[in-house]
Amino acid sequence: MPLPEALDFAAAVGNSAGVEDAEEWRKVSVAAHSALEWRTARYDTTPLGQLSPGCAVRAYLALALSRRDVKMILLDEPTNHLDLPSILWLQHAIIASGKTVVVVSHDAAFLDAVSDHVWYIDGVQHTLTVSGAGYTDFVKSRELAREQQRAAYEDQKSRHKRLTGVANSLKAEAAAGARHVAKDNDKLQNDFKRDRAGRSGKKASAVEARRDREEKVEQVVDRKPLRITLNAVGSGTNSVIMFSSVALGYHAPDGSPLPLPLPPVSLRVDFGERVAIVGFNGVGKSTLLKTLMGEIQPLGGHVSMGRELKVGNLTQSHEALPLDATPRQYFSEMTKTELFATGQKLMKYGLTLRQTDCPISALNPGARARAVLASFAMQQVNTLILDEPTNHLDEEAMEEVLSTVNEYHGTVVLVTHSRKALESIRVTRTLRLGSEGLGEIESVDEFVQMSDQAARAVVRDCFG
């Protein structure tokens, strides 16, 4: 059942929020239909269970933000499946709604736009820090505080070392005086030495007490740096990706074609190019990548993958992981690498010893992504297909993945909605897939600016 029908049905059976939901949905869907191209999701005809993750999340958020009786919303990584225009819409909608929002996210730009308080959980120190600053200001102040603590710790360590040395010298002097025996057994001299030894011992105790009374500065605990290295094997002449008038879509269970509302797509990617593809949720970006990888057949046209391309598909590999196997076992068998060496490589990529030997089903999405990247390194792939590669990654892992892609000398085809990824990765071309087809755009900044203006207009129409 499509979303509008589901809302009308809820209103018809007397659901108290059904009438309001149906009216608010009509308002936002009309406003965003063309401005943000929500039409590509085909909400009026697509059953709820067949919506893409981004389209489904976007619809839920629109309803939750529009409900007057909802005062607080909890969001866990809400931007992971949203296109960039929808992320910009969500930012403005959250602020315009006036609702209290508690959000868990690794999207720094999104957090800067919507947050005025930060609760930071330190997984190493097992502490919770609460700040009334915005996200970027909090990160800067936290780094400054860590540097100040690091300097204070080193100063204290140096001072304690010096005081301990003074105390030890006084103790040695006291011990020598206490054992002193004059050659002529002069009692006066012996008493003088022992008295001075006693004073030296008291001084040593005083120095140690002074040292120990100082409030201890804790050492800054740094996470082990994550280092990802992908070395692409060389490629010869047969290493081009070609789309020739490809019609994108699916086949129904009865075999009938279900084309996407797009004109035929033509594309050539030469070896070593880095191509980024952006576009709205539901327009067909993931379908394009699945067609490229041969997971689904084109409804028309021709797809060619050079024979010398050795492809690593982050999304496909992530989804195909056997949940009952351990990372060490699975990747050892897949890469024909001994178990010990496989474990070492996985730990180098940020997995703990426990994670390398636990079932893959117990790993969080970020750990699974790191494991897949480790397998790419072991296989020496020369082409990366990346569909939202920064989803589920913490900030450190995200930074390292983006840096790795920049240093990678193979071919990269990237679909992302992350503004940070688009700004950080040095791409040779940026393409936009929309209802008019696949075309090159001049700059990401232009796309962001146009999308932000459209998002603001939609929010004004819906929230006033």
416-464 pLDDT, tens digit per residue, is 888 888 888 888 899 999 888 999 988 788 888 888 999 999 999 888 6
Co-location of 289 and 425 in the same domain: yes
Q: What is the mean pLDDT of residues 320-333?
A: 88
- For residue 101, which phi and psi values (nearest 5 degrees)? -125, 130
Q: What's the domain count of the chain? A: 3
Q: For residue 348, how many other CB atoms are within 10 A of its CB?
A: 16
Co-location of 152 and 127 in the same domain: no
Domain-embedded: residue 218: no
Domain-embedded: residue 225: no
Co-location of 402 and 269 in the same domain: yes
Q: Which structural domain, as residue segments, surrounds residue 245?
A: 241-463
The number of helix segments (H) and strand segments (E) in the chain equals: 16, 15
CB 303 within 8 A of CB 291: yes
Co-location of 14 and 94 in the same domain: yes
- Specify the DSSP element, H or E, that contains 136: helix 135-179
Q: 180-227, pLDDT tens digit by residue?
A: 545 555 555 555 555 555 566 677 788 788 888 888 888 877 665 555
Co-location of 345 and 248 in the same domain: yes
| 433 bridge partner residues | 279, 438
Domain-embedded: residue 229: no
Residue 261 has pLDDT above 80, yes or no: yes
Domain-embedded: residue 226: no
> E-strand spans in 293-365?
300-305, 311-313
Name which of 318, 462, 460 is nearest 386 in CA terms.
Answer: 318
Domain-embedded: residue 230: no
What is the structure's pLDDT at 113?
92
Co-location of 127 and 172 in the same domain: no
Residue 176, both tokens: 């020598």
State how far the alpha carbon of 265 is from the alpha carbons of 257, 281, 439, in Å: 17, 18, 9
Confidence label for 268 from pLDDT (cuts 50, 70 and 90): very high
Question: Final residue of a domain: which of 138, 170, 205?
Answer: 138
| CATH number of the domain to which 58 belongs | 3.40.50.300
Name which of 279, 249, 278 is nearest 261 in CA terms.
Answer: 249
Domain-embedded: residue 231: no
Co-location of 283 and 401 in the same domain: yes
| 415 bridge partner residues | 277, 387
Domain-embedded: residue 232: no
CB 378 within 8 A of CB 43: no
Co-location of 434 and 403 in the same domain: yes
Name which of 135, 107, 110 is nearest 120 in CA terms.
Answer: 135
- For residue 411, which phi and psi values (nearest 5 degrees)? -85, 140
Domain-embedded: residue 191: yes
Question: Final residue of a domain: which of 195, 213, 231?
Answer: 213
**Higher pLDDT pick, 149 / 193:** 149
What is the structure's pLDDT at 197?
53
- Specify the DSSP element, H or E, that contains 432: strand 429-434
Q: What is the mean pLDDT of residues 219-243?
A: 68
Co-location of 133 and 160 in the same domain: no
Q: 35-83, pLDDT tens digit by residue?
A: 888 888 888 888 988 888 888 999 999 999 988 888 999 999 899 888 8
CB 304 within 8 A of CB 238: no
**CA atoms within a 13 Å half-sphere pointing along the CA-CB vector of 340:** 0
Co-location of 131 and 190 in the same domain: no
Co-location of 32 and 177 in the same domain: no
Cα separation, 78 vs 364, whole angstroms: 17
Co-location of 450 and 349 in the same domain: yes
Question: Final residue of a domain: which of 112, 138, 164?
Answer: 138
